[in-house]
Chain A
Amino acid sequence: MRNSVKPPIALKPLFRLRRFQIRFIAKILLAIFVWATPIHAAHSFDFVRNTYLIDLSQGSLLSQIMRASQNGSFETSNGAVVNFRDWYSTSWTDARFAMMTQLEPWLGFVWGASTGEYGQKYVIDPSLRVGLVFRGEIDKNSSISFKATTTIGGSLREKSCIADYGEIGGVQKVNCRLAASSLAPADTLQYLYNMSPINTYFFSIEYRLLF
């Protein structure tokens, strides 16, 4: 069991994009490019003044899943207690932020990132979040807005353990949490967590009425 905790470095998974994610991001970037023509540039767009913090948080559903896994334990065949705490704890909980840059009164570009999280037996990849917000006035007192974002990366991947079952089962790769269960060691591997973030694709429609 290792005691050290590595920093959350996992850049490679960021490039594991699905084809429709690539298309979506390309369209957003194209929209920004079209918008950022010299005509618009002539307006002397102030990026900083038009950018707002819309989300700042720490922790996620995936983090909570791994927190819950800390509570398990089992005894080895010779009676030594194996606690899951060291395997599923972290020195840094996944943190995220999201900003919105207002490109036009009716259009905003959402962008953000998360740090990811690292424990001895799991990784939550860092992530990027991009999207667009469209807003339209219905009348003086009401408006409607559409928001669509996608998160790239941010997946949870649980690592396996190496267990020694001695004469009866030899040395095998297993799911750490299920090593002492009645499941066959190889069958435990299908229960390793391998999950995408819950908000990979996010759409919302908001109607606002002032009265």
Chain B
Amino acid sequence: MNSSARHAVVVVALLLTTPSTFAQQAYPYQNPEVWATWAQGYRGQGTQINVVDSFSISAGCDVVYGQCHGSWTNTLAKTTAPSATVNLYQQSGLVVGITPNVLNIFNLSYGLYSPIANSAQNSAIVGYAQTGKAVVVKSAGNDYGLAVGDATKTIGFAGKVDVLATNLAGQPSAILAGALAKNGTPSNPASMANYSQVAGASPVVQRNFLVVGVDESAGLPRGTSFAAPIIAGYAAILGSKFTTANATAVTNQLLNTARTDTVVGYNPATYGRGEASISRALAPSSIR
């Protein structure tokens, strides 16, 4: 579930750099396309995923299935792109800088319901998406039946709008991540998960909206929080193949190659660009 904003009280950023040797292992919740991309040994190396989340029970993290919310997003990013460097940053902490000469990817699996100007950390990240300095992947939100940009029904924030989502919509290197109930295929298409917010009528949001499977039956928790790190991992895999591509090009490749034939009754107001497909994103548009 998306955590609420705690940006006003936390003043110390926690940075944990995890080694790039996370075990390469296939998990049942993953799209088999991901396993195929590992076959030649390219799994996100040379890229950096910055997971901004809550990681400490003692600091009051959201606990999901016995683990901090951030442990799940961290695990999903690392299992999708095992060779990427994954840095963990405490949500609402200090500004996270950009590392030069590598593809920077941010994973934001939370919403923000107070003015973005109050959060230096989030303002900086939105700036990176605006200037194309980093791929910024943000969860769409779990208000089922609502679109991105609608006022939330979440207790404690009811009536407020997720300003992080609205500020990222339309930015050149931002992706808003919705959740499908499973990984889709043309012969067995997937529906939107029954908690995920949809893209909505705004063409600006639709342009940046992608979906991926968050398969509960394979052991994943419910939430668009867990769609975002999968897409962040896809961006890392792309960055390890196209080593000179900038964040905007990587973002556009994921958006432009999304599949619309693997979801039930595709329409952009629900699915945005469609289901992210790492195999199509890696492929050329033509070859001779």
Contact = CB atoms under 8 A, between A and B. Distances in A.
B9 to A, nearest CB: 40
Interface stretch (A126-134, A173-181, A203-211): A173-181
B211 to A, nearest CB: 17
Contact of B285 (A74, A164, A174, A178): A164
Q: A interface, how many residues as a size bin?
A: 20 to 34
A78 B40 contact: no
Contacts of B241: 169, 182-185
A164 B40 contact: no
Interface of B: 37-43, 237-238, 240-243, 245, 249-250, 252-253, 256-257, 259, 261, 279-288
A169 B245 contact: yes
Contacts of B282: 180-182
B279 A163 contact: no
A176 B284 CA distance: 11
Contact of B38 (A77, A162, A182): A182
Contact of A76 (B37, B237, B250, B284): B284
A17 interface: no
A163 B287 contact: yes
B283 A77 contact: yes
Nearest to A120: B288
7 contacts: A75-B280, A76-B287, A164-B285, A166-B285, A169-B245, A178-B40, A182-B42
Given A169-B245, A183-B40, A184-B243, A77 B288 contact: no
Contact of B245 (A82, A168, A176): A168
Interface centre among B37, B40, B282, B283 (most CB of A within 10 A): B283
Given A169-B242, A169-B245, A76 B285 contact: yes
Contacts of B250: 168
B283 A183 contact: no
A76 B277 CA distance: 11
A201 interface: no
A168 B284 CA distance: 10
B260 to A, nearest CB: 10
- Name which of B40, B43, B281 has the most chain A CB atoms within 10 A of its CB: B40
Contacts of B288: 1, 161-162
A78 B287 contact: no
A183 B43 CA distance: 9
A181 B287 contact: no
Nearest to B34: A182
A169 B249 CA distance: 9
Contacts of B280: 75-79
A139 interface: no
A167 interface: yes
Contacts of B279: 74-75, 180
Given A76-B286, A77-B280, A161-B287, 13 more contacts: A74-B283, A75-B283, A76-B285, A77-B256, A77-B283, A79-B280, A163-B287, A164-B286, A166-B284, A167-B249, A180-B282, A182-B42, A182-B237
